[in-house]
Structure 1
Amino acid sequence: MTIVKNSQPSFKDEADRRKYEEVLSIARPNAMLETMRAGGLALCHTMSIARGPEIIAMAKYAGYDALSINLEHERNSFGETVDACCTALMTGMTPVVIVPSLQNDWVSRMLDNGAQMIIVPRTNDAAMAKQLVKFGKHRPLGERPLAYNPAMQYRIPDFKWTQYVANETTMCVPMIETVEGLENCEEIAAVPGVDAIFVGAHDLSDDMGIAGEFFNPKVQEAIGRICKAAQKASTPEKEIYIGLGGLDPYPDLFRKLRAAYPNIRFTNAGRDVIMLSQGMELALSKFRDAK
């Protein structure tokens, strides 16, 4: 897979170009990011309780672009999350990790162990978004230390170009899920190094005082405001994408929002908890009349 870049790098000489190409040849492509850069919709499987590598292989075969692991709400351990990230990388899926909080040891450490997208919950202002970029991007955008990691196949052929390619293939994503974050969404989207914004529709509606009312015009207007903020912050060199969470039970509503805002480029498209419970109910329904 060819890595799609925001812009072509500049080289001081032919040797510099060769160093860049060597780094590029070992980098694990970010399938989700490439789909979004091409204008498509990236779909994530949410791993909650079914954490075996078999599930990741099944998700890849089903056609998912990414594997999403939520460390804010789920019981996944650090080691389990690293194993899942590495397995996803090897299957060609993008490992997405929602960290519990905005802490350097969560953001940088997860990126050092396979994550290609970091989402920080309850990002309420531009200062928090700047901290995320500081922790999650290498220089010149941030201050993330360079380490041997699975996304680069544990190699650093050249320091400068490894930093550059890592910045191109990993994503720092604030999550807006509060009224405060909504009110500051324009400033959050404009922070250099922010790659996308993830909208937590459940918690955002709750914080607005209309919990779960996803068809309420106020909720849809709030999502629209965030989408417009991302559009305004985008440049010809870099588009800021939008992801929607919590709407997987409402695909028609999601289609409506994406039709209105084409910069919505990724979403959760099913989670194992719901799939398993619905599958159990369906299986039982076929035998109930035999009792």
Structure 2
Amino acid sequence: MKNRIKEMLAAGKPVMGTFITLNSPDLVEIAGIAGFDFVIIDAEHGPMDPESLQNLLRGAELRGATPVVRIPETSDTWILKTLDVGAQGIQLPQVNSAEQAARIVRGAKYFPLGNRGVALPRSSSYGLIPLDRAFEEANRETLIVTHCENVLGLKALPEIAAVEGVDVLFVGPYDLSQSLGIPGQIDHPDMKSAIAQVLSVARNAGKPTGIFVTSPEEALRRLDEGFLYIAWSVDGLIFGDACRTALRIMRGNRA
């Protein structure tokens, strides 16, 4: 299966997505119908396991959104299970060294690029396509997004960016601000400097950058700065804000 957002990023085109933290295939479908290029199914902060991920992935595929999964940690087991059930991309938290990034790539790719375990899972159409084709497609189409959200990862970013197979360098601004000792202060000068550093490193490495944003206005600003992989908000927050806004209007208009 072609990974549409990987192709768009390679062509220098921006892509828009959102985080799904609630275990609801319906929300994934709605995001796809609305027109998001991708969804990030969040198994780090959400309750999902590999079995429940399958239905969320199906919802994304059904509605034309590329399914990416943020896994809770960078073990080979989580990488393998997430890709085997059909994720077209993985996002890895707290990637803080080139050695860690290289191990992630090896776990996500088949020979000759890596050592991913071989079976006949959903990702290879349950063995109903030739294995050599399944391996080649997986190596070509799987998107690997590494998070820069720690001062250790920021210091090692040039080496991480140089790892072949890492496709996107993603800024987790809230975790990074915490690591910098300024939790939640996204517009602090130290954060602005760190974000500029990520953009510079990625540009030198020829890699696209991603970032989490909380508003469409912030998304536009990040696009102007050079980010291409934009993850806007979180499902629960989007729904909650819509409810509050509607209630504020309705209650304000009461006689």
Letter in 1 for 2:19: T
1:156 positional shift: 5.6
Report the Cα distance in structure 1 between the residues aligned to 2:235 and 2:221, rounded to whole angstroms.
25
Residues 119-198 of structure 1 correspond to what in structure 2 (within 5 A)? 119-155=91-127, 157-198=129-170
Segment drifting more, 197-206 vs 212-221: 212-221
Report the Cα distance in structure 1 between the residues aligned to 2:62 and 2:141, rounded to whole angstroms.
15
Letter in 1 for 2:188: N
Using the size of structure 1 for normalisation, the TM-score is 0.80
**Partner of 1:197: helix, strand, or coil?**
strand
Report the Cα distance in structure 2 between the residues aligned to 1:72 and 1:248, rounded to whole angstroms.
19
Give the superposed CA RMSD: 2.0
State the Cα deviation string for residues 36-60 of structure 1 (Å, max 9, x = none): 22322111121122x3333222211
1:279 positional shift: 1.8
Report the Cα distance in structure 2 between the residues aligned to 1:165 and 1:244, rounded to whole angstroms.
27
Match in the other structure for 2:86? 114
State the Cα deviation string for residues 245-287 of structure 1 (Å, max 9, x = none): 2x223x44443343232xx221212321112111221232243
Segment drifting more, 138-147 vs 175-184: 138-147
Contact persistence 2:214–2:232 (CA under 8 A): yes
Residues 1-291 of structure 1 correspond to what in structure 2 (within 5 A)? 28-49=1-22, 51-155=23-127, 157-234=129-206, 240-245=207-212, 247-249=213-215, 251-261=216-226, 264-289=227-252, 290=254
Report the Cα distance in structure 1 between the residues aligned to 2:143 and 2:25, rounded to whole angstroms.
23
Contact persistence 1:89–1:114 (CA under 8 A): no
Report the Cα distance in structure 2 between the residues aligned to 1:38 and 1:156, rounded to whole angstroms.
32
Letter in 2 for 1:248: T
Contact persistence 2:21–2:43 (CA under 8 A): no
- Seen in structure 2, the aligned counterparts of structure 1 residues 226 and 156 have a Cα distance that, compared at 3 Å, is farther
Between the aligned residues of both structures, percent identity stands at 29
Report the Cα distance in structure 2 between the residues aligned to 1:152 and 1:86, rounded to whole angstroms.
14
Larger radius of gyration: 1
- Seen in structure 2, the aligned counterparts of structure 1 residues 197 and 149 have a Cα distance that, compared at 3 Å, is farther
Segment drifting more, 280-289 vs 118-127: 280-289
Structure 1: runs of 5+ lacking an equivalent:
1-27, 235-239
State the Cα deviation string for residues 92-151 of structure 1 (Å, max 9, x = none): 211111111111110011001011111111111011101101111112221112333444
Report the Cα distance in structure 1 between the residues aligned to 2:249 and 2:220, rounded to whole angstroms.
32
